[in-house]
């Protein structure tokens, strides 16, 4: 599935682990996906499922030790990023692939002026002079909707609100016009009202600049209106992969179904607790035999506890990691599926 002309990045059989006191944690285990130019891929999953590690592995930003990218290929524009020299990799980082991180409070350097943090990227990658870089930085700040950009640029991150800081992060990430933007839970740390604005901004800029986007989130609701494809991760593995519309209308995995049920819907009574998948994700240092989701799954059978499930292709481009993938998929048609349009309504109500 790699190598077609319009594929911007393809991740193949990626394995990344961490050596911890409890033993070796397989944070990302055999993850494969690809992204076409100009498209947006959503990666969803509960916290700890390996979403961030997957994407940090792409730019080799895993702290080593304790981490290690043990296997796999990450093909970007014909090169395997995992094989590049550090110098070559640095020319990709920030220039061709840029990242926006979850917490804008801690992801900007509190000791440096915003101007320094913005201009250093374009001076490095685009060879801007001091003056050009500053002009460009102000332009970017305006683009992401920072009022008084000419003044703000000389301030420090702590003088801005969380939402404004995330805008600065986005301005910084997009300042070299990257081919791929990876946004790792860009709204998780923000107020609900700001979340929608930031998502709207990413969507808008993506359309304007033609950037391909990987959007990581633990909230399926976010994915609905933003992405073309979705992969659902659990315990370092891809549990389901599908076109966004298919995933919402006809999930083929009990885990995805659980995630869908935990998205708040408009008719949801205030104060009534949201659905939560029972139990906790497995200890990745000592995963249970069989399917890692089996202890929490609502349709577990004996085989789930003993045998690792197959990655079943349900139809073209729709895969599910489950012993009963097809059955779940069939069931979904009648029951649990949520209409995509319905979910977009949910999002607009949220915002």
Partner 1 sequence: MLRFILRRLLIIIPMALLVVTLTWGLIRLAPGNFYSGEKKLPAAVEAAIRKKYGLDEPWYKQYGMMMANVVRGDFGDSLKYPGQSVNEIIRRHLPYSATIGILAYFLALFVGMLAGTYAALKQNSVFDFGPMALAMLGLSIPNFVIAPVLVILFAFWLYVFPPARWGGASSLVLPVVTLAAVYAAYIARLTRAGMLEVLRSDFVRTARAKGLDDRTVLFRHAFRGGILPVVSFTGPALAALLAGTVVVEKVFALPGLGDIFIKAVLNRDEPLVLGIVAFLSILIMVFNLIVDVSYGFLDPRIRYE
Residues that bind ligand ADP (CB under 6 A): 18, 20, 25, 27, 45, 47-53, 63, 66-67, 284
Piece of 7-15, 23-31, 87-95, 319-327 that binds partner 1 (CB under 8 A):
87-95
Task: Establish if 156 lies at the interface with partner 1 (CB under 8 A).
Answer: yes
Residue nearest to Mg ion (CB): 52
Window of 28-36, 99-107, 226-234, 341-349 that interacts with partner 1 by CB under 8 A: 99-107
Does 90 sit near partner 1 (CB under 8 A)?
yes
Coil vs helix vs strand at 198: helix
**Cα separation of the two ends of the chain:** 37
Q: Which is nearer to ligand ADP, 21 or 87 (CB)?
A: 21
Minimum CB–partner distance for residue 281 and ligand ADP (Å) = 8
Detail the DSSP E strand segments found in 95-189: 97-100, 180-184
Task: Write down the least CB distance from residue 239 to ligand ADP, Å.
Answer: 12
Strands (E), 46-150: 67-76, 79-80, 97-100
247 or 284: whose CB is closer to ligand ADP?
Answer: 284
Question: 110 contacts which partner out of partner 1, ligand ADP, Mg ion, none, CB within 5 to 8 A by kind?
Answer: partner 1
DSSP label of 102: S
Q: Which is nearer to partner 1, 116 or 300 (CB)?
A: 116
The binder of 127, among partner 1, Mg ion, ligand ADP, none, by C-beta within 5 to 8 A per type, is: none
2 or 20: whose CB is closer to partner 1? 20
Among residues 198 and 291, whose Cβ is nearest to partner 1?
198
Binding of residue 16 to Mg ion (CB under 5 A)? no
CA angle 266, 48, 223 (to 5 degrees): 35
CB 155 within 8 A of CB 113: yes
| 103-118-67-287 Cα dihedral, nearest 10 degrees | 30
Q: Which of 334, 338, 253, 329 is CA-nearest to residue 297? A: 253
270 secondary structure, DSSP code: T
Q: For residues 20 and 83, which CB has a smaller minimum distance to ligand ADP in the complex?
A: 20
Q: 53 is in the binding site of which of ligand ADP, partner 1, Mg ion, none (Cβ under 5 to 8 A by kind)? A: ligand ADP
- To ligand ADP, the closest distance from the beta carbon of 264 in angstroms equals 20
Report what 50 binds from Mg ion, partner 1, ligand ADP, none; CB cut-off 5-8 Å by kind.
ligand ADP
Which residues lie below 8 Å from residue 346, measured CB to CB, with a gap of 6+? 221, 224, 263, 264, 265, 266
Q: Order of strands across the sheet with 79-80?
A: 23-36, 7-20, 67-76, 79-80
108 binds partner 1 (CB under 8 A): yes
Taking the least distance from each CB to ligand ADP, the nearer of 293 and 324 is 293
20 interacts with partner 1 by CB under 8 A: no
DSSP characters over 291-317: -TTGGG-TT--HHHHHSPPPEEEEETT
CB of 21 to ligand ADP, least distance (A): 10
For position 52 contacting Mg ion by CB under 5 A, the verdict is yes
Q: Is 177 one of the binding residues for partner 1 (CB under 8 A)?
A: no
**Degrees (nearest 5) of the Cα angle 96, 102, 105?**
110
Residue 103's H or E segment, with its range, is none
| Encoded tokens for 198 | 């930031």
Radius of gyration in angstroms for the set of CA atoms belonging to the chain, rounded to a whole number: 21
Total residues at interface with partner 1 (CB under 8 A):
31
- Judged on CB neighbours under 10 Å (0-12, 13-18, 19+), 123 is middle
Interface with Mg ion by CB under 5 A: which residues? 52
Interface with partner 1 by CB under 8 A: which residues? 56, 59, 61, 63, 65, 90-95, 98-99, 101, 103, 106-112, 116, 120-121, 124-125, 156, 158, 169, 172
């Amino acid at each position: 599935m790699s190598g077609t002309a319009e594929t911007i990045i393809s991740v193949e059989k990626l394995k990344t682990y961490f050596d911890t006191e409890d033993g070796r944690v397989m944070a990302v285990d055999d993850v494969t996906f690809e992204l076409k130019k100009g498209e947006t891929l959503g990666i969803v999953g509960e916290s700890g499922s390996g979403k961030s590690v997957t994407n940090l592995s792409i730019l080799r930003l895993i702290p080593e030790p304790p981490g290690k990218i043990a296997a796999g290929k990450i093909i970007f524009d014909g090169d395997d990023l995992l094989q590049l020299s550090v110098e070559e990799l640095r020319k990709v980082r920030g220039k061709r692939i840029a990242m926006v991180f979850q917490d804008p409070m801690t992801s900007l350097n509190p000791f440096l002026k915003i101007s320094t943090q913005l201009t250093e990227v374009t001076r490095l990658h685009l060879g801007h002079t001091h003056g050009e870089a500053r002009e460009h930085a102000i332009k970017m700040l305006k683009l992401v909707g920072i009022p008084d950009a000419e003044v703000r640029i000389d301030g420090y991150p702590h003088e801005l609100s969380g939402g404004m800081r995330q805008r600065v992060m986005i301005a910084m990430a997009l300042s070299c016009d990257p081919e791929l933007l990876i946004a790792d839970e860009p709204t998780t740390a923000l107020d609900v009202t700001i979340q929608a604005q930031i998502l709207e901004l990413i969507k808008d800029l993506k359309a304007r600049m033609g950037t391909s986007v990987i959007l990581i989130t633990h909230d399926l609701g976010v994915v609905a209106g933003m992405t073309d494809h979705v992969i659902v991760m659990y315990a370092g593995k891809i549990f389901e992969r599908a076109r966004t519309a298919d995933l919402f209308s006809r999930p083929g995995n009990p885990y995805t179904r659980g995630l869908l049920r935990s998205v708040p819907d408009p008719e949801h009574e205030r104060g009534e607790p949201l659905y939560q998948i029972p139990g906790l994700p497995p200890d990745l240092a000592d995963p249970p035999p069989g399917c890692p989701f089996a202890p929490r799954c609502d349709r577990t059978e004996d085989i789930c506890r003993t045998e690792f499930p197959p990655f079943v292709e349900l139809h073209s481009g729709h895969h599910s990691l489950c012993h009963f993938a097809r059955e779940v998929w069939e069931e979904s048609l009648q029951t649990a599926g949520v209409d995509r349009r319905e979910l977009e309504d949910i999002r607009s109500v949220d915002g």
